[in-house]
Structure 1
Amino acid sequence: MSEEKPWLKLYPKEIPSELSYPEQTVQEYLVKAATEFPEKKAIHFMGKEFTYRFVYDSALKVASYLQGIGIGKGDRVAIMLPNTPQSVISYYGILFAGGVVVQTNPLYMERELEYQMKDSGAKAIIAMDILFPRVSKIMPQTDLQHIIVTAIKDFLPFPKNLIYPFIQKKQYGITVNVKHEGHHHLLTEILKRPTGEIKEYEFNFDEDLALLQYTGGTTGFPKGVMLTHRNLVSNAAMCNAWLYKTKRGEEVILGVLPFFHVYGMTTVIILTVMEANKMVLLPKFDAETTLKTIQKQRPTLFPGAPTIYIGLLNHPKINDYDLSSIDSCISGSSALPVEVQQKFEEVTGGKLVEGYGLTETSPVTHANFLWDEPRIKGSIGLPWPNTDAAIMSTETGEFLPPGEVGEICVKGPQVMKGYWNRPEDTAQTLKDGWLLTGDLGHMDEKGYFYVVDRKKDMIIAGGFNIYPREIEEVLYEHEAVQEVVAAGIPDPYRGETVKAYVVLKDGAKVTEEELNKYTRKHLAAYKVPRIYEFRAELPKTAVGKILRRKLVEEDMKKLEEESTEAVK
């Protein structure tokens, strides 16, 4: 079945079914952009802009300095920064030095940070000043030898650079002063120095790592996904082929997805530089700031996550802003509700489609067409060029025909090398070149794929298999519902029962009875939630993925406490 690739028949003539990839490292994209467009603006950040020449020269200074403090080929260097110019410069600087980037969530607390630094064996870390105390505390327990410190104010225009430290002190309650000496280094001092000699290394594009990207860790400990230069270059090229109407050097990309998430990293840090476009960076998502930025900076491409689009759509003054510059949005990270897609396209006049991928696939494997029909609502779309996909039986391991539900598996040049220092996990996930995604889904006759849910998220109630996504899609269509997640919680009779956690739109009111009546019109009785919990917000990862397991764990803990109390 997989050899037939029925989806290729649907490709428009502009998208090739097969691509050839340059034998190059990721950082060579910056060399080419800076050579071709040295004075073109590469980054806009809170009112200040930086050219490709500046970004390239700065990255070389970082590379030279890193080599000077002992970083060589294959050494891991962590980046613990929000979306800032420093993050882009550091990313390419590490690669120019021959190192491997370890993207680290700036929200990590000491325990999480210590785990990742120990697991990756990072020798150095580039971190925001307010994170310096946290990094310093865990440093003795890890292989970290150097901390390079930077601050938001370092790349702000006047007078924001003078005002911001006061805002930061008020917000975080600390002021950090680090001296450029010993094992502590200041990025501002590094960038003042002339670029020293940089040792160049031979690279095996298929084997040498560019990135250790840690999985979210929503189930168990995070795993370091080994992504090679080939993985990242090929996926960026696929993305560029899919966006065939975009023009090199003319697009503006909104960078609000965090760079420590693989989707934000690929679509903004790599793809933007690959095409010599401009990235507009926001250090965190705030609906009003994002709306103002769109109106003023006129981005044309807006990669995002469903929670970001939902946050914008539910801003009370969204209609006061001109969002007409937005042409193309591919949503990743989690399922895109159909209602959100339709509303966002109405508001912006642009196209918003759902894509699909994993950290393990650099990250994208599927997407809907942006400008070509058919666009199938509720589908993750078609496999990308050079990408194969199939549905595998979870019982027999055999490929299943169209229409049958099984595990989605993918194969292509973007598929990871494996998990860092975890050969057993690698062997369980990679089978004969196929990556087993852990997602349940099916393919239709034309080659469109559909995700029904994570294997681990499937609810089994009274012997029935229930997919949370189906329930969530129905509830998202209710006019009062802003966000929702469905999950299975223990039930002594049915094994599990369906519970819906609901966040209502501002000012909206609805009762549990009304939602129950509504869902019964659209779902089989066994799928209807038996319990509704109304919440002010839902727990999420930094990229906006709702933490279903955390909600279930909270309920499990309550049940245990109630059981213990009853015994007493």
Structure 2
Amino acid sequence: MKKDRLFGGEDDGKDGVKMYDVSIVNRVAVGDILRRSASRYPEKTAFVQHDRKWTFREVDQLCNQFANFLLSSGLKKGDTIATICTNSFEFIVTIYGISKAGLIWVPINPGISFEEKKYILQQVKAKLIIGDQMLVQEKLEEYKTFARTIILEGDFEKFYSLFKDQAVEEPLTDIHDRDVAQIMFTSGTTGNPKGVMISHLAVYIASLGNIIEMGLKQDDITTVLMPIFHCAQHTFTTSFLHIGATSVIFNKFAPEELMKNIEKEKITWTFMLPMMYKAILHHPKRKNYDLSSLRTCMYAMAPMDRPTLEKLIKELDADFVLGTGQTEIYPATMMFKPEEQLRRFGSYWGVSSLINDTAVMDEEGNILPKGQIGEIVHRGPNVMIGYLNNEEETLESRKFGWHHTGDLGYWDEDGQLVFVDRKKDLIKTGGENVASIKVEQVLLMHDKVANAVAVGLPHERWVEAVTAFVVPKPDVEISEKEILEHCKKHLGKFQVPKSVIFLEQLPMTTTGKIQKHVLRKRYNDFYINNRSTSYEV
């Protein structure tokens, strides 16, 4: 029997008529995105790193070759490949080559402990580990006890030598839309990390939704600046591959290097954390660079204080948009759009992506009306298949037929969603509930504060005492009294922190999330050890 190279049809032996599986005709697969874009924009630049560029045709063929290399090495559809990598073009080829081969990508955050990495490798039964040399060399022999290992040395030609003899044609792989495309692990702040199984359909549909909601364009030039092992950067990189845009790869955030590339490559669209935008805004050499090409700046992971946002919009003359989502429901799920940014301030998440339903629900599963606080829940094709090896948690996450986020919020009068807090981060103090994010927004408004969070710590009188952790800006003098007086001007009496703890830096994940659980654990006995301190009622 002969097979169609592209679609895998089989000759039934009668008059040359080919029989096609319905799953092939209706196929939805992440790897197909590259083939289609290569067909539409073969000579257009897809990726830039340093001074090297690759066209869509080259990227598609390289990913095909890497996919063929993986399959020729004995790996089979459904096998798992773990990666421990930072951003690079080699990593891009690895990710989408895995998808084309019908294998399952398991990105491991390089910043987690070796024990957590071992836990993930055991859970997924990895058949192959691909890692950056600097990240895996120290424990290489231990990694080899789990699976065969490939090391990326930061040299594309060395990487390419592994598979340069492979066919450039796409492998014939039977991929179904609900097949697991990747397993991403949560941060595990309350226990072992949970493996989130995500389908080809979820990634594909979410990335298309982003194009429409964000108004992405074929002539955009964007950044791969945030870690691509994280769902947020991965989904937008996939979106820009869909639309035929050019992506500039950065291995790390260096403000001046970014500004140089914005000017040189005429970057139009970027995704960064609020603290990164602040670093650009206050950089002493910012005026030396032409940043006028920027059209859209997306931020996520943390709120943007009002003075900073207003100054950024004025000085960069770009649209700012907040995107939200979860690994469990592939982002972006909601967007607070440019036209709303200066119309209303607070913890706004905005409106649902066109691919999602969003509601606010009470503990009994009742959908709440506008103005009432409850858990934010979603439905849509981008919801995870489930948690790996954890049916109980999977069922709990989809009670009442909705995906439960663990976030609290409410709808305002105009149908914009307001985020209140994570359920676990809500501070219960003296019989009142305090949203940590509200306190944080006020702290970040202070012109001497670089970063800040609010956490509830055990207290014999208040049950939990609102406590501020503040990172001052470099070379400034700031006192606890100054911070507390600032808070009293903008917060209710019960919301004002009982203490301010100054730190040089906050504990953070490599994706920019502040690890409040680390602060809770580290400072759990703070008030027990400071009983002599008097607190205002």
Paired residue for 2:236?
Answer: 267
Of 428-437 and 308-317, deviating more is 308-317
> Are the counterparts in 2 of residues 475 and 481 from structure 1 also a CA contact under 8 Å?
yes
Paired residue for 2:156?
Answer: 154
Alignment of 1:312 with 2:316, yes or no, is: no
In 2, Cα distance between the equivalents of 1:48 and 1:198? 24
- How far residue 25 of structure 1 moved from its aligned partner, in angstroms, is 0.6
User: In the TM superposition, what whole-angstrom CA distance separates every residue of 1:476-500 from its partner, at most 9, and x where no partner exists?
Assistant: 1111111110101110111010111
Using the aligned pairs only, state the percent identity: 31
> Are the counterparts in 2 of residues 110 and 134 from structure 1 also a CA contact under 8 Å?
no
In 1, Cα distance between the equivalents of 2:311 and 2:400? 42
Query: Residues 108 and 472 from structure 1, CA distance in 2 versus in 1: closer, same or farther, beyond 3 angstroms?
Result: closer
Paired residue for 1:160?
Answer: none
> Are the counterparts in 2 of residues 148 and 187 from structure 1 also a CA contact under 8 Å?
no
Alignment of 1:440 with 2:408, yes or no, is: yes
In 2, Cα distance between the equivalents of 1:508 and 1:535? 13
Mapping for residues 72-111 of structure 1, pairs under 5 Å: 72-111=76-115
Mapping for residues 38-53 of structure 1, pairs under 5 Å: 38-53=42-57
> Are the counterparts in 2 of residues 79 and 103 from structure 1 also a CA contact under 8 Å?
yes
Q: Given the two structures, how large is their TM-score scaled by the length of structure 1?
A: 0.85
Q: Which amino acid aligns with 1:468?
A: S
Q: Which amino acid aligns with 1:147?
A: T
In 2, Cα distance between the equivalents of 1:557 and 1:286? 37
Q: 2:205 aligns with which of 198, 216, 234?
A: 234
Q: Which amino acid aligns with 1:475?
A: L
> Are the counterparts in 2 of residues 367 and 383 from structure 1 also a CA contact under 8 Å?
yes
Mapping for residues 318-357 of structure 1, pairs under 5 Å: 318-357=286-325
Paired residue for 1:247?
Answer: 217
- How far residue 428 of structure 1 moved from its aligned partner, in angstroms, is 0.9
SS in 2 for 1:266: helix
Mapping for residues 17-36 of structure 1, pairs under 5 Å: 23-36=27-40
In 2, Cα distance between the equivalents of 1:210 and 1:135? 27
SS in 1 for 2:524: helix
- How far residue 341 of structure 1 moved from its aligned partner, in angstroms, is 2.3
Paired residue for 1:297?
Answer: 265
- How far residue 404 of structure 1 moved from its aligned partner, in angstroms, is 1.0
In 2, Cα distance between the equivalents of 1:559 and 1:513? 18
Q: Which amino acid aligns with 1:271?
A: S
Paired residue for 2:432?
Answer: 464
SS in 2 for 1:359: coil
> Are the counterparts in 2 of residues 98 and 200 from structure 1 also a CA contact under 8 Å?
no
Of 489-498 and 123-132, deviating more is 123-132
Q: 1:191 aligns with which of 163, 166, 181?
A: 163
Paired residue for 2:23?
Answer: none
Query: Residues 369 and 280 from structure 1, CA distance in 2 versus in 1: closer, same or farther, beyond 3 angstroms?
Result: same
SS in 2 for 1:485: strand
Q: Which amino acid aligns with 2:232?
A: Y
Mapping for residues 403-422 of structure 1, pairs under 5 Å: 403-422=371-390
In 2, Cα distance between the equivalents of 1:133 and 1:238? 39
User: In the TM superposition, what whole-angstrom CA distance separates every residue of 1:438-485 from its partner, at most 9, and x where no partner exists?
Assistant: 011111132210111100001111111011110111111111111110
- How far residue 386 of structure 1 moved from its aligned partner, in angstroms, is 2.8
Paired residue for 1:7?
Answer: none
In 2, Cα distance between the equivalents of 1:462 and 1:24? 53
In 2, Cα distance between the equivalents of 1:154 and 1:198? 21
Query: Residues 293 and 557 from structure 1, CA distance in 2 versus in 1: closer, same or farther, beyond 3 angstroms?
Result: farther
Query: Residues 46 and 124 from structure 1, CA distance in 2 versus in 1: closer, same or farther, beyond 3 angstroms?
Result: same
Paired residue for 1:486?
Answer: 454
Alignment of 1:215 with 2:186, yes or no, is: yes
Paired residue for 2:512?
Answer: 544
- How far residue 23 of structure 1 moved from its aligned partner, in angstroms, is 4.4
Paired residue for 2:19?
Answer: none
Q: Which amino acid aligns with 2:371?
A: G
In 2, Cα distance between the equivalents of 1:201 and 1:432? 36
SS in 2 for 1:77: strand
Alignment of 1:71 with 2:75, yes or no, is: yes
- How far residue 40 of structure 1 moved from its aligned partner, in angstroms, is 1.2
> Are the counterparts in 1 of residues 320 and 337 from structure 2 also a CA contact under 8 Å?
no
SS in 2 for 1:152: coil
- How far residue 140 of structure 1 moved from its aligned partner, in angstroms, is 5.3
Q: 2:360 aligns with which of 391, 405, 410?
A: 391
In 2, Cα distance between the equivalents of 1:107 and 1:284? 13
Higher relative contact order (CA 8 A, sep 6+): 1
Paired residue for 1:516?
Answer: 484
Unaligned runs of 5+ in 1: 1-21, 156-185, 564-568
Of 334-343 and 213-222, deviating more is 334-343
SS in 2 for 1:470: helix
Query: Residues 372 and 475 from structure 1, CA distance in 2 versus in 1: closer, same or farther, beyond 3 angstroms?
Result: closer
SS in 2 for 1:490: strand
Of 384-393 and 132-141, deviating more is 132-141
> Are the counterparts in 1 of residues 361 and 375 from structure 2 also a CA contact under 8 Å?
yes
Query: Residues 486 and 391 from structure 1, CA distance in 2 versus in 1: closer, same or farther, beyond 3 angstroms?
Result: same
Alignment of 1:502 with 2:466, yes or no, is: no
Of 258-267 and 354-363, deviating more is 354-363
Q: Which amino acid aligns with 2:183?
A: L
Q: Which amino acid aligns with 2:217?
A: K
Unaligned runs of 5+ in 2: 1-25, 532-537
In 2, Cα distance between the equivalents of 1:425 and 1:258? 27
Alignment of 1:380 with 2:380, yes or no, is: no
- How far residue 232 of structure 1 moved from its aligned partner, in angstroms, is 0.7
Q: 1:424 aligns with which of 392, 396, 404?
A: 392
